[in-house]
Structure 1
Amino acid sequence: MTLTIFLVRHAAHDNLGRFLAGRLQGLSLGTAGKAQALRLAQRMTREKIDAIYTSPRERTRETAEAIASVNDLRAPAVVEELDEVNFGSWSGQTFDTLNADEHWVRWNTVRSQARTPGGESMLDVQRRVLLFIEELGRHNDDKGLALISHADVIKAAVSWVLGLPIDAWPRFDIAPASITTVMIGDWGAKIVTLNEITQ
Protein backbone atom coordinates (compact mmCIF):
# COMPACT_ATOMS: atom_id res chain seq x y z
CA MET A 1 0.00 0.00 0.00
CA THR A 2 1.29 3.45 -0.94
CA LEU A 3 -0.66 6.65 -0.40
CA THR A 4 0.54 10.11 -1.36
CA ILE A 5 -0.84 12.97 0.74
CA PHE A 6 -0.41 16.57 -0.36
CA LEU A 7 -0.75 18.74 2.75
CA VAL A 8 -1.64 22.15 1.33
CA ARG A 9 -1.96 25.36 3.30
CA HIS A 10 -4.66 27.71 2.05
CA ALA A 11 -3.75 30.79 0.05
CA ALA A 12 -3.26 34.03 1.99
CA HIS A 13 -6.21 36.18 2.99
CA ASP A 14 -5.81 39.97 2.85
CA ASN A 15 -5.19 40.39 6.60
CA LEU A 16 -2.64 37.62 7.05
CA GLY A 17 -0.29 38.47 9.93
CA ARG A 18 -2.44 41.32 11.28
CA PHE A 19 -4.63 39.25 13.57
CA LEU A 20 -5.29 35.64 14.55
CA ALA A 21 -7.90 34.42 12.07
CA GLY A 22 -8.66 31.10 13.74
CA ARG A 23 -12.18 29.95 12.99
CA LEU A 24 -13.65 33.39 12.25
CA GLN A 25 -16.53 33.22 9.78
CA GLY A 26 -16.54 35.19 6.54
CA LEU A 27 -12.77 35.44 6.08
CA SER A 28 -12.36 34.88 2.34
CA LEU A 29 -9.50 35.21 -0.08
CA GLY A 30 -8.98 38.64 -1.59
CA THR A 31 -7.76 39.36 -5.11
CA ALA A 32 -4.13 38.50 -4.30
CA GLY A 33 -5.13 35.33 -2.46
CA LYS A 34 -7.29 34.14 -5.35
CA ALA A 35 -4.38 34.68 -7.76
CA GLN A 36 -2.12 32.76 -5.38
CA ALA A 37 -4.67 29.90 -5.20
CA LEU A 38 -4.79 29.78 -9.00
CA ARG A 39 -0.98 29.54 -9.24
CA LEU A 40 -1.08 26.74 -6.65
CA ALA A 41 -3.80 24.94 -8.60
CA GLN A 42 -1.76 25.15 -11.78
CA ARG A 43 1.33 23.83 -9.98
CA MET A 44 -0.71 20.84 -8.78
CA THR A 45 -1.56 19.80 -12.34
CA ARG A 46 1.86 18.09 -12.25
CA GLU A 47 0.63 15.69 -9.55
CA LYS A 48 -1.70 12.71 -9.58
CA ILE A 49 -4.64 13.84 -7.44
CA ASP A 50 -7.64 11.56 -7.02
CA ALA A 51 -9.61 13.58 -4.47
CA ILE A 52 -9.49 16.76 -2.40
CA TYR A 53 -10.47 17.20 1.24
CA THR A 54 -10.70 20.60 2.88
CA SER A 55 -11.17 22.36 6.19
CA PRO A 56 -14.57 24.08 6.57
CA ARG A 57 -13.05 27.61 6.65
CA GLU A 58 -13.86 29.84 3.66
CA ARG A 59 -10.21 30.44 2.79
CA THR A 60 -9.45 26.72 2.62
CA ARG A 61 -12.61 25.91 0.66
CA GLU A 62 -11.81 28.61 -1.90
CA THR A 63 -8.26 27.27 -2.27
CA ALA A 64 -9.56 23.70 -2.61
CA GLU A 65 -12.16 24.74 -5.18
CA ALA A 66 -9.48 26.42 -7.31
CA ILE A 67 -7.41 23.21 -7.27
CA ALA A 68 -10.45 21.09 -8.14
CA SER A 69 -11.47 23.36 -11.00
CA VAL A 70 -8.05 23.59 -12.66
CA ASN A 71 -7.40 19.85 -12.19
CA ASP A 72 -10.89 18.82 -13.38
CA LEU A 73 -11.71 17.04 -10.13
CA ARG A 74 -15.00 16.58 -8.30
CA ALA A 75 -15.97 19.05 -5.60
CA PRO A 76 -13.76 18.93 -2.49
CA ALA A 77 -15.11 17.10 0.54
CA VAL A 78 -15.37 19.32 3.64
CA VAL A 79 -14.11 17.58 6.79
CA GLU A 80 -13.94 18.83 10.37
CA GLU A 81 -10.67 16.99 11.05
CA LEU A 82 -8.77 19.48 8.85
CA ASP A 83 -10.25 22.54 10.56
CA GLU A 84 -8.12 25.30 12.05
CA VAL A 85 -7.13 25.09 15.71
CA ASN A 86 -10.04 26.13 17.89
CA PHE A 87 -8.51 29.28 19.35
CA GLY A 88 -11.71 30.28 21.15
CA SER A 89 -11.70 33.88 22.39
CA TRP A 90 -8.27 34.49 20.85
CA SER A 91 -9.77 34.39 17.33
CA GLY A 92 -9.91 37.84 15.77
CA GLN A 93 -7.49 39.46 18.24
CA THR A 94 -4.43 41.33 16.98
CA PHE A 95 -1.05 39.83 17.70
CA ASP A 96 -0.09 42.94 19.71
CA THR A 97 -3.01 42.22 22.05
CA LEU A 98 -2.23 38.51 22.20
CA ASN A 99 1.44 39.08 22.99
CA ALA A 100 0.37 40.80 26.23
CA ASP A 101 -1.61 37.70 27.29
CA GLU A 102 0.42 35.34 29.49
CA HIS A 103 -1.65 32.36 28.30
CA TRP A 104 -0.81 33.16 24.67
CA VAL A 105 2.88 33.42 25.60
CA ARG A 106 2.69 30.01 27.30
CA TRP A 107 0.88 28.56 24.24
CA ASN A 108 3.79 29.64 22.07
CA THR A 109 6.41 28.44 24.54
CA VAL A 110 5.19 24.96 25.54
CA ARG A 111 2.27 23.93 23.34
CA SER A 112 2.54 20.38 24.62
CA GLN A 113 1.32 21.64 28.00
CA ALA A 114 -1.04 24.45 26.98
CA ARG A 115 -4.63 24.74 25.77
CA THR A 116 -6.40 27.49 23.91
CA PRO A 117 -9.36 29.30 25.52
CA GLY A 118 -11.56 27.11 23.34
CA GLY A 119 -10.14 24.04 25.06
CA GLU A 120 -8.08 22.51 22.23
CA SER A 121 -4.43 21.57 22.66
CA MET A 122 -1.95 20.92 19.85
CA LEU A 123 -1.95 17.26 20.86
CA ASP A 124 -5.72 17.26 20.27
CA VAL A 125 -5.14 18.80 16.84
CA GLN A 126 -2.44 16.27 16.01
CA ARG A 127 -4.64 13.39 17.10
CA ARG A 128 -7.60 14.41 14.95
CA VAL A 129 -5.57 15.01 11.78
CA LEU A 130 -3.59 11.79 12.15
CA LEU A 131 -6.71 9.70 12.76
CA PHE A 132 -8.19 11.18 9.58
CA ILE A 133 -5.05 10.40 7.56
CA GLU A 134 -5.00 6.89 8.99
CA GLU A 135 -8.62 6.38 7.91
CA LEU A 136 -7.81 7.64 4.41
CA GLY A 137 -4.96 5.16 4.23
CA ARG A 138 -7.34 2.25 4.75
CA HIS A 139 -9.33 3.03 1.59
CA ASN A 140 -7.00 4.78 -0.84
CA ASP A 141 -4.22 2.43 -1.92
CA ASP A 142 -1.97 3.94 -4.60
CA LYS A 143 -3.88 7.21 -4.67
CA GLY A 144 -2.95 10.85 -4.35
CA LEU A 145 -5.05 12.99 -2.03
CA ALA A 146 -4.87 16.74 -1.45
CA LEU A 147 -5.71 17.91 2.08
CA ILE A 148 -6.26 21.67 2.28
CA SER A 149 -5.76 22.92 5.81
CA HIS A 150 -3.95 25.41 8.05
CA ALA A 151 -0.34 25.95 9.12
CA ASP A 152 -0.58 24.56 12.66
CA VAL A 153 -2.60 21.53 11.56
CA ILE A 154 -0.04 20.69 8.88
CA LYS A 155 2.81 21.28 11.35
CA ALA A 156 1.20 18.82 13.75
CA ALA A 157 1.11 16.12 11.06
CA VAL A 158 4.64 16.83 9.84
CA SER A 159 6.03 16.75 13.40
CA TRP A 160 4.58 13.27 13.87
CA VAL A 161 6.02 11.96 10.58
CA LEU A 162 9.46 13.36 11.44
CA GLY A 163 9.32 12.08 15.02
CA LEU A 164 9.51 15.60 16.42
CA PRO A 165 7.79 16.72 19.63
CA ILE A 166 4.81 19.01 19.17
CA ASP A 167 6.89 21.83 20.69
CA ALA A 168 9.17 21.72 17.62
CA TRP A 169 6.60 23.71 15.58
CA PRO A 170 8.79 26.87 15.28
CA ARG A 171 11.64 24.91 13.65
CA PHE A 172 10.05 24.87 10.19
CA ASP A 173 7.64 26.99 8.17
CA ILE A 174 4.40 26.18 6.40
CA ALA A 175 3.77 29.16 4.13
CA PRO A 176 0.46 30.15 2.52
CA ALA A 177 -0.25 28.13 -0.64
CA SER A 178 2.62 25.76 0.14
CA ILE A 179 2.67 22.01 -0.55
CA THR A 180 4.12 19.42 1.82
CA THR A 181 4.15 15.93 0.32
CA VAL A 182 3.95 12.83 2.51
CA MET A 183 4.20 9.23 1.33
CA ILE A 184 2.62 6.54 3.48
CA GLY A 185 3.01 2.78 3.13
CA ASP A 186 3.15 -0.44 5.11
CA TRP A 187 6.75 0.56 5.84
CA GLY A 188 5.71 3.81 7.56
CA ALA A 189 5.62 7.44 6.42
CA LYS A 190 8.14 9.94 5.08
CA ILE A 191 8.24 13.58 4.02
CA VAL A 192 9.04 13.95 0.32
CA THR A 193 8.80 17.74 0.12
CA LEU A 194 8.38 20.28 2.91
CA ASN A 195 6.85 23.74 2.48
CA GLU A 196 7.19 23.88 -1.31
CA ILE A 197 6.18 27.44 -2.09
CA THR A 198 4.26 28.19 -5.27
CA GLN A 199 5.72 31.11 -7.21
Structure 2
Amino acid sequence: MSLSITKFHWIRHAPVKAMMPGRIYGQRDVGCKLNDTERLLSLADQLPKEGIWVSSSLSRTKKTAKAIGEQKGWKVRPLAYKELMEQNFGLWQSKTWDELEDDPAGDAFWKDPAATCPPDGESFEQLCTRVQKCINHLIKKYNGQEIICVAHAGTIRAALAQALDMTPASALRLKIDTLSLSQISHFSDPDKDNTWSVERVNF
Protein backbone atom coordinates (compact mmCIF):
# COMPACT_ATOMS: atom_id res chain seq x y z
CA MET A 1 0.00 0.00 0.00
CA SER A 2 1.42 3.38 -1.05
CA LEU A 3 1.06 6.80 0.49
CA SER A 4 -2.54 8.01 0.49
CA ILE A 5 -3.54 11.67 0.82
CA THR A 6 -7.03 12.68 1.97
CA LYS A 7 -7.69 16.39 1.55
CA PHE A 8 -10.28 18.30 3.58
CA HIS A 9 -11.79 21.58 2.39
CA TRP A 10 -13.46 23.12 5.46
CA ILE A 11 -15.98 25.91 4.88
CA ARG A 12 -17.87 27.79 7.56
CA HIS A 13 -21.54 28.32 6.71
CA ALA A 14 -22.96 31.65 5.48
CA PRO A 15 -23.87 34.37 8.03
CA VAL A 16 -27.01 33.63 10.05
CA LYS A 17 -30.25 35.57 9.61
CA ALA A 18 -31.96 37.81 12.14
CA MET A 19 -29.51 37.29 14.97
CA MET A 20 -28.15 40.27 16.88
CA PRO A 21 -24.36 40.48 17.35
CA GLY A 22 -23.12 38.54 20.35
CA ARG A 23 -26.05 36.13 20.53
CA ILE A 24 -25.28 32.46 21.13
CA TYR A 25 -27.01 30.21 18.59
CA GLY A 26 -24.86 27.07 18.89
CA GLN A 27 -26.99 24.13 17.73
CA ARG A 28 -30.13 26.17 17.10
CA ASP A 29 -31.27 25.55 13.53
CA VAL A 30 -31.29 29.16 12.31
CA GLY A 31 -31.41 30.37 8.71
CA CYS A 32 -28.51 31.90 6.79
CA LYS A 33 -27.93 34.70 4.28
CA LEU A 34 -26.92 33.43 0.83
CA ASN A 35 -26.92 36.73 -1.07
CA ASP A 36 -23.12 37.05 -1.39
CA THR A 37 -22.93 35.22 -4.70
CA GLU A 38 -19.49 36.66 -5.45
CA ARG A 39 -18.04 34.98 -2.38
CA LEU A 40 -19.96 31.76 -3.04
CA LEU A 41 -18.51 31.62 -6.57
CA SER A 42 -15.01 32.33 -5.26
CA LEU A 43 -15.34 29.34 -2.94
CA ALA A 44 -16.67 27.11 -5.71
CA ASP A 45 -13.71 28.07 -7.91
CA GLN A 46 -11.32 26.72 -5.25
CA LEU A 47 -13.06 23.36 -4.78
CA PRO A 48 -12.70 20.08 -6.67
CA LYS A 49 -15.57 19.23 -9.00
CA GLU A 50 -15.56 15.59 -7.91
CA GLY A 51 -15.21 16.11 -4.15
CA ILE A 52 -17.23 14.28 -1.49
CA TRP A 53 -19.60 16.82 0.11
CA VAL A 54 -20.45 16.53 3.81
CA SER A 55 -22.06 18.93 6.27
CA SER A 56 -23.46 19.07 9.75
CA SER A 57 -27.12 18.17 10.23
CA LEU A 58 -28.10 21.84 10.67
CA SER A 59 -29.83 23.50 7.72
CA ARG A 60 -27.46 26.48 7.46
CA THR A 61 -24.60 24.18 6.46
CA LYS A 62 -26.67 22.17 3.98
CA LYS A 63 -28.04 25.33 2.35
CA THR A 64 -24.58 26.88 2.14
CA ALA A 65 -23.21 23.74 0.46
CA LYS A 66 -26.07 23.74 -2.05
CA ALA A 67 -25.61 27.48 -2.78
CA ILE A 68 -21.87 27.03 -3.42
CA GLY A 69 -22.56 24.18 -5.83
CA GLU A 70 -25.20 26.19 -7.69
CA GLN A 71 -22.55 28.71 -8.72
CA LYS A 72 -21.04 25.97 -10.91
CA GLY A 73 -24.22 24.15 -11.83
CA TRP A 74 -23.34 21.29 -9.46
CA LYS A 75 -26.16 19.39 -7.77
CA VAL A 76 -24.79 19.19 -4.24
CA ARG A 77 -26.50 16.91 -1.72
CA PRO A 78 -24.13 16.78 1.25
CA LEU A 79 -23.99 13.79 3.56
CA ALA A 80 -25.15 15.18 6.91
CA TYR A 81 -23.31 14.22 10.11
CA LYS A 82 -24.69 15.28 13.48
CA GLU A 83 -21.15 14.87 14.86
CA LEU A 84 -20.11 17.93 12.81
CA MET A 85 -22.60 20.27 14.49
CA GLU A 86 -21.54 23.37 16.38
CA GLN A 87 -20.99 23.23 20.13
CA ASN A 88 -24.13 22.62 22.17
CA PHE A 89 -24.44 25.59 24.51
CA GLY A 90 -27.48 24.11 26.24
CA LEU A 91 -29.48 26.64 28.28
CA TRP A 92 -27.28 29.46 27.01
CA GLN A 93 -28.48 29.15 23.42
CA SER A 94 -30.45 32.26 22.32
CA LYS A 95 -28.85 34.33 25.11
CA THR A 96 -26.17 36.94 24.50
CA TRP A 97 -22.63 36.64 25.86
CA ASP A 98 -23.30 39.73 28.00
CA GLU A 99 -26.21 37.94 29.70
CA LEU A 100 -23.84 35.27 31.01
CA GLU A 101 -22.63 37.81 33.56
CA ASP A 102 -25.79 36.99 35.52
CA ASP A 103 -25.27 33.22 35.28
CA PRO A 104 -23.23 31.55 38.07
CA ALA A 105 -21.72 29.17 35.49
CA GLY A 106 -20.66 32.07 33.29
CA ASP A 107 -17.69 33.00 35.47
CA ALA A 108 -16.30 29.46 35.32
CA PHE A 109 -16.77 29.43 31.55
CA TRP A 110 -14.73 32.58 31.00
CA LYS A 111 -11.97 31.21 33.23
CA ASP A 112 -11.77 27.96 31.24
CA PRO A 113 -13.91 28.15 28.07
CA ALA A 114 -12.51 24.91 26.59
CA ALA A 115 -13.21 22.60 29.53
CA THR A 116 -16.30 24.22 31.06
CA CYS A 117 -19.64 22.71 30.07
CA PRO A 118 -22.56 25.15 29.71
CA PRO A 119 -25.70 24.07 31.62
CA ASP A 120 -27.32 21.14 29.75
CA GLY A 121 -24.74 21.53 26.98
CA GLU A 122 -21.24 20.31 26.13
CA SER A 123 -17.74 21.71 26.51
CA PHE A 124 -15.51 22.62 23.60
CA GLU A 125 -13.27 19.72 24.64
CA GLN A 126 -16.22 17.37 24.18
CA LEU A 127 -16.94 18.91 20.78
CA CYS A 128 -13.33 18.26 19.75
CA THR A 129 -13.63 14.61 20.73
CA ARG A 130 -16.77 13.98 18.66
CA VAL A 131 -15.58 16.00 15.64
CA GLN A 132 -12.18 14.31 15.56
CA LYS A 133 -13.81 10.88 15.82
CA CYS A 134 -15.96 11.79 12.78
CA ILE A 135 -12.90 12.99 10.87
CA ASN A 136 -11.17 9.68 11.50
CA HIS A 137 -14.27 7.92 10.18
CA LEU A 138 -14.25 10.08 7.02
CA ILE A 139 -10.56 9.37 6.44
CA LYS A 140 -11.22 5.64 6.65
CA LYS A 141 -14.34 5.76 4.47
CA TYR A 142 -13.02 8.16 1.80
CA ASN A 143 -9.30 7.53 2.02
CA GLY A 144 -7.33 9.25 -0.71
CA GLN A 145 -10.23 11.46 -1.82
CA GLU A 146 -11.10 15.16 -1.48
CA ILE A 147 -13.75 15.93 1.12
CA ILE A 148 -15.63 19.24 1.18
CA CYS A 149 -16.97 19.87 4.68
CA VAL A 150 -19.43 22.72 5.28
CA ALA A 151 -19.67 23.18 9.02
CA HIS A 152 -19.26 25.63 11.90
CA ALA A 153 -16.52 27.69 13.53
CA GLY A 154 -16.20 25.31 16.48
CA THR A 155 -16.13 22.27 14.20
CA ILE A 156 -13.40 23.76 12.03
CA ARG A 157 -11.33 24.75 15.08
CA ALA A 158 -11.55 21.13 16.24
CA ALA A 159 -10.36 19.89 12.83
CA LEU A 160 -7.43 22.29 12.85
CA ALA A 161 -6.57 21.27 16.42
CA GLN A 162 -6.32 17.67 15.25
CA ALA A 163 -4.08 18.58 12.30
CA LEU A 164 -1.83 20.88 14.32
CA ASP A 165 -1.71 18.84 17.57
CA MET A 166 -3.22 21.81 19.40
CA THR A 167 -5.01 21.67 22.71
CA PRO A 168 -8.70 22.65 22.62
CA ALA A 169 -7.84 25.77 24.64
CA SER A 170 -5.28 26.83 22.04
CA ALA A 171 -7.65 26.08 19.16
CA LEU A 172 -10.18 28.57 20.55
CA ARG A 173 -7.74 31.33 19.57
CA LEU A 174 -8.27 30.58 15.87
CA LYS A 175 -10.54 32.99 14.02
CA ILE A 176 -12.90 31.29 11.56
CA ASP A 177 -15.05 33.68 9.52
CA THR A 178 -18.33 32.84 7.78
CA LEU A 179 -17.78 31.64 4.21
CA SER A 180 -14.08 31.17 4.89
CA LEU A 181 -12.01 28.26 3.55
CA SER A 182 -9.49 26.19 5.50
CA GLN A 183 -7.65 23.35 3.76
CA ILE A 184 -5.79 20.49 5.44
CA SER A 185 -4.46 17.15 4.20
CA HIS A 186 -4.04 13.81 5.95
CA PHE A 187 -1.21 11.49 4.87
CA SER A 188 -1.66 7.75 5.45
CA ASP A 189 1.58 5.79 5.10
CA PRO A 190 1.77 2.13 6.23
CA ASP A 191 5.49 2.54 7.00
CA LYS A 192 5.21 5.77 9.00
CA ASP A 193 2.98 7.53 11.51
CA ASN A 194 0.00 9.32 10.00
CA THR A 195 0.68 13.01 9.51
CA TRP A 196 -1.12 16.19 8.53
CA SER A 197 -0.31 19.31 6.55
CA VAL A 198 -2.14 22.63 6.75
CA GLU A 199 -2.39 24.61 3.52
CA ARG A 200 -4.82 27.39 4.39
CA VAL A 201 -6.67 28.70 7.44
CA ASN A 202 -9.58 31.16 7.35
CA PHE A 203 -8.82 32.12 3.73
TM-score by length of 2: 0.85
Whether 1:195 and 2:197 are equivalent positions in the alignment is no
1:36 maps to 36
Whether 1:22 and 2:11 are equivalent positions in the alignment is no
Aligned-partner Cα distance in 2 for 1:16–1:147: 26
SS in 2 for 1:6: strand
Aligned-partner Cα distance in 1 for 2:62–2:107: 30
1:53 maps to 54
Aligned-partner Cα distance in 2 for 1:21–1:7: 20
Aligned-partner Cα distance in 1 for 2:12–2:86: 11
1:98 maps to 100
Cα pair 1:50 1:145 within 8 Å, conserved: yes
SS in 2 for 1:154: helix
2:152 maps to 150
Query: Which range moves more in the overlay, 178-187 or 10-19?
Result: 10-19
Deviation (angstroms), 1:95: 2.1
Amino acid in the other structure paired with 1:21:
Y
The structure where helix makes up a greater share of residues is 1
Distance 1:179 1:17, change over 3 A: same
Q: Identity over aligned residues, as a percent?
A: 22
SS in 2 for 1:34: coil
Whether 1:132 and 2:145 are equivalent positions in the alignment is no
2:191 maps to none
* Structure 1 gap segments, 5+ residues each: none
* Structure 2 gap segments, 5+ residues each: 189-193
Query: Which range moves more in the overlay, 14-23 or 34-43?
Result: 34-43
Q: Which has the larger radius of gyration?
A: 2
Query: Which range moves more in the overlay, 80-89 or 43-52?
Result: 43-52
Aligned-partner Cα distance in 1 for 2:89–2:37: 25
Distance 1:60 1:41, change over 3 A: farther
Aligned residues: 192
Cα pair 1:2 1:183 within 8 Å, conserved: yes
